[in-house]
């Protein structure tokens, strides 16, 4: 491995890297919390407020079915949004950081 001489601390403290990891972490954890909270709300609502689940929305299909379906849509939505965001911002920033590491400018 040739990277043994790399000054990892310097990279970790470089403004580019700090920006990358701050933006990524905020994005990832907040959406993770949104996704999981909504799941636990679904479970609790099914157990504690079944009357909401009973409300018929379209024909015989009730809120409960739509809430479950919504969880799937939310999952896909988060996935698509993350893919978009990562392709647009994170990957570009990552490449810049790697460029700095390879160019040795980070020191």
Partner 1 sequence: MRHLLILMTVFLSLAGTAFAAVPTTPSDSPATAATKNREVSAPVAASPAQSTPAAAQPKAAVPAPAPAKIKTNRLITVSMFLAIIAFTMGIVVWAARKTKTAADFYAAGGGITGMQNGWAIAGDYLSAATFLGITGLISIRGIDGFLYAVGPMVSFITILLIIAEPCRNAGKFTMGDILCYRSSPKLVRGAAAISTVAVSIFYLLAQLVGAGKLMQVLLDIPYQASIIGVGILIIVYVGFGGMKATTWVQIIKASLLMSCGVVFTALVLWKSGMNPLRFFADIVASPAVQDHVRGLLKHAAPEPGFDYGQRFLEPGLFLNNPLDQISLGIAWLLGAAGLPHILMRFFTVPTAKAARKSVIVAMFLIGFFFIMTTVLGFGAAIHITPQKISAIDKGGNMGVLMLAQQLGGGAGTIVGDLFLAFVCAVAFATILAVVAGLVLASSAAISHDVYVNIIKDGKATQREQVNVARAASLAVGIVAIWMGIAAEKQNIAHLVALAFAVAASSNFPVIMLSLFWKRFNTAGIVSGLVVGTVAAIGLVMVSPNMTYPKKVAADARKVVEPLEKKQADGVTLAEKELKALEKARADFAQNKNGTSIVGLDAPLFSLKNPGIISAPLGFLAAIIGCLAFRERRSEELFDELYVRQNTGYGMAKAQDH
- At closest approach, how far in Å is the CB of 107 from partner 1? 14
- At closest approach, how far in Å is the CB of 15 from partner 1? 14
Q: What share of the chain is helix, strand, coil (3-state, %, to 5)?
A: 80, 5, 15
* Footprint of partner 1 (CB under 8 A): 1, 3, 6, 8-9, 11-12, 17, 20-21, 24, 28-29, 31-32, 35-36, 39-40, 42-44, 46-48, 50, 53-54, 56, 58-62, 64-65, 68-69, 71-72, 75-76, 78-80, 82-83, 86, 91, 94, 97-98, 101
* Main-chain dihedrals φ then ψ at residue 56, nearest 5 degrees: -80, 130
What tokens does 29 get? 């954890």
What tokens does 47 get? 């157990």
Nearer to partner 1 by Cβ, of 35 and 89: the residue is 35
Closest CA to 53 of 44, 37, 36: 44
Beta-strand runs (E) in the chain: 56-58, 61-62
- At closest approach, how far in Å is the CB of 51 from partner 1? 9
- At closest approach, how far in Å is the CB of 36 from partner 1? 5
């Amino acid at each position: 491995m040739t990277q043994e001489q790399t000054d990892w601390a310097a990279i970790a403290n470089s403004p580019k890297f700090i920006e990358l990891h701050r933006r990524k972490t905020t994005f990832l954890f907040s959406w993770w919390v949104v996704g999981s909270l909504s799941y636990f709300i679904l479970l609790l609502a099914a157990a504690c407020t079944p009357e909401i689940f009973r409300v018929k929305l379209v024909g015989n299909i009730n809120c409960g079915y739509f809430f479950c379906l919504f969880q799937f849509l939310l999952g896909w939505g988060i996935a698509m949004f993350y893919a978009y965001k990562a392709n647009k911002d994170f990957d570009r920033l990552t490449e810049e950081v790697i460029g700095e590491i390879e160019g040795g400018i980070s020191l």
